[in-house]
């Protein structure tokens, strides 16, 4: 059953949120999540919890038993589905010397659907195959933890590292550029959503900009933003614009 407009786990009266493999009538939470909820958050019998499968479905539960590092949950609602945003927002972000973990955490809270780490000419860091695999794995963990904290029913997709040329011709691509247009001037694309490309420290090179010359530019403000700030600002302004143009 689809939830009402804008209704998801964040709208439920619950003390915590967790992800599970299946939204069964009875769920047992163990491992790191069980330890956190029972030992750190100290959830007790009778308290309300929401659980989601990470792809949009969720239910309300009640804690039926809380033992050392384990919670047993019993369903107290039917299975619901959090609405998909009218215009999904994705982020294509260049590698930065400070890493992307904090960016992933913040944009997950803002509701992005996907994060694509992008290798660019001016990226200070260079990920080989092994480092890229470790970094992407860590980003996926961060996305799950942030989605749980912000009570999302969907965990954003974290893609493997891509080259910038992989974005050429991507439907809905926009490029963050302080000389660009205001968010309200972007064409709404409910079918493909928006994928905003944010460059590294020093920006994209002229050759890279020529690769994505067909994509519209969007301004994030009048000042020059840090590479770690710009992705979060992009996610925030586009999420706000998507909400503004959403049909009733």
Q: pLDDT 10s digit of each residue in the chain, 248 long?
A: 655 555 899 999 999 999 999 999 999 999 999 999 998 889 999 999 999 999 999 999 999 999 888 999 999 999 999 998 889 999 999 998 888 999 999 999 999 999 999 999 988 888 888 989 999 999 999 999 999 999 999 999 999 999 999 999 999 999 999 889 998 899 888 889 999 999 998 899 999 999 999 999 999 988 888 888 999 999 999 999 888 776 65
CB 233 within 8 A of CB 221: yes
Last residue of a domain, one of 31, 46, 81: 81
CATH number of the domain residue 132 falls in: 3.40.1280.10
Identify the pLDDT of residue 2: 55
What residues have CB less than 8 Å from 137, skipping those under 6 apart?
A: none
Same domain, 70 and 142: no
Strand (E) or helix (H) holding 198 = strand 194-198
Identify the pLDDT of residue 43: 92
Termini Cα distance of the chain = 20
Domain of 67 in residue numbering reads as: 9-81
Q: Is 150 exposed, middle or buried (0-12, 13-18, 19+ CB in 10 A)?
A: middle
Cα–Cα distance, 227 to 148 (Å, whole number)? 26
Cα–Cα distance, 119 to 23 (Å, whole number)? 38
Same domain, 31 and 136: no
Cα–Cα distance, 8 to 6 (Å, whole number)? 7
Identify the pLDDT of residue 248: 54
| Cα distances (Å, whole numbers) of residue 59 to 45, 111, 143, 224 | 18, 19, 20, 43
Identify the pLDDT of residue 246: 67
Identify the pLDDT of residue 189: 83
Residue found by looking up tokens 């939204």 in the block: 23
- Number of compact structural domains in the chain: 2
Identify the pLDDT of residue 4: 52
| Cα distances (Å, whole numbers) of residue 51 to 60, 72, 106, 134 | 6, 12, 21, 27
Work out the number of other CB atoms within 10 angstroms of the CB of residue 135. 19
Identify the pLDDT of residue 85: 86
């Amino acid at each position: 059953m689809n939830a009402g407009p804008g209704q998801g786990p964040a709208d439920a009266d619950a003390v915590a949120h967790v992800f599970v493999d299946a939204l069964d009538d009875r769920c047992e939470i163990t491992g790191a999540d069980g330890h956190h909820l029972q030992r750190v958050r100290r959830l007790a019998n009778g308290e309300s919890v929401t659980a989601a499968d990470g792809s949009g479905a969720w239910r309300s539960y009640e804690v039926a038993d809380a033992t050392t590092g384990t919670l047993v949950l019993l369903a107290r609602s039917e299975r619901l589905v959090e609405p998909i945003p009218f215009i999904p927002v994705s982020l294509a972000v260049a590698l930065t010397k400070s890493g992307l973990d904090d960016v992933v955490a913040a944009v997950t809270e803002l509701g992005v659907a996907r994060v694509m780490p992008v290798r660019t000419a001016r990226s200070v860091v260079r990920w080989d195959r092994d480092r890229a695999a470790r970094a992407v794995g860590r980003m996926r963990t961060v996305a799950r933890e942030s989605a749980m904290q912000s009570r999302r029913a969907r965990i954003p997709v974290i893609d493997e590292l891509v080259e910038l040329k992989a974005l050429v011709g991507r439907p809905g691509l926009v490029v963050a550029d302080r000389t660009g247009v205001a968010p309200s001037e972007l064409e709404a694309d409910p079918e493909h959503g928006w994928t905003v490309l944010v460059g590294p420290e020093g920006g994209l090179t002229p050759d890279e900009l020529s690769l994505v010359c067909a994509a519209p530019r969007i301004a994030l403000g009048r000042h020059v933003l840090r590479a770690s700030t710009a992705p979060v600002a992009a996610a925030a302004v586009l999420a706000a614009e998507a909400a503004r143009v959403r049909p009733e």
